[in-house]
Structure 1
């Protein structure tokens, strides 16, 4: 019984370490790949809208940012699955979006999305 408990604790610790590493990777990737256009530590908009609270937000609705008509009319509610699809190929999900940056690697998309979920 004690061995099972130790195994469960070890598994939990490894999962926590992996999550912490994903968050660190996500922060680094966000800064490198997204930070030129999007803010996360500020509600200031840049070339793109700030991304604080993006998970759960309806696309194209952030007050104070001028979205493309395509984004405004998309009706998408941002969740992890929608963001993953969008980051893979923005124009494939929303034809007419202004965003052109693509993320081919699933692990990078996941790390960025996990990072966004913390803000």
Structure 2
């Protein structure tokens, strides 16, 4: 009796899928770095006039250091509109995306006037805030 050996399919094989994951991570790194660089550029251009990313940083708007997971209108020492203080939002990717797209629709009565209509620009700024110590 002759037995035929069949090699198992390589799909899902630990060494192959692990290598693929590593390869994808390495390849994604330049893209992630480019997005962070673009996010930093956009932050400086669109946000830094009013906001800092330094702990305790002050501007006309609150510091965005550690913004992820923070309740809107709750940073001690920052000036907020009554609308922002009562908003009941917790900042995460979804709430920041909606707020940056149209602050006055998301929090009617906010004093934030800057709108960022481009989804890629919003994503880059949000990624930058996450990777610059803003949470995540």
Task: State the TM-score, normalized to the length of structure 1.
Answer: 0.91
Which residue of 11, 25, 30 corresponds with 1:12?
25
Aligned: 1:27 with 2:40:
yes
For 1:72 and 1:41, how far apart are their aligned partners in 2? 21
Task: State the TM-score, normalized to the length of structure 2.
Answer: 0.80
- Where does structure 2 lack aligned partners over 5 or more consecutive residues? 1-9
1:105 alignment partner in structure 2: 118
Q: For residues 43-70 of structure 1, give each alpha carbon's deviation from its aligned partner in whole angstroms, at most 9, with x where no partner exists.
A: 2221111110011100000000121000
For 2:46 and 2:18, how far apart are their aligned partners in 1? 41
For residues 18-97 of structure 1, what are the structure 2 equivalents within 5 Å?
18-97=31-110
Aligned residues: 119
Larger Rg: 2
- Where does structure 1 lack aligned partners over 5 or more consecutive residues? none
Structure 1 segments, 4+ long, off by >2 Å, are 1-10
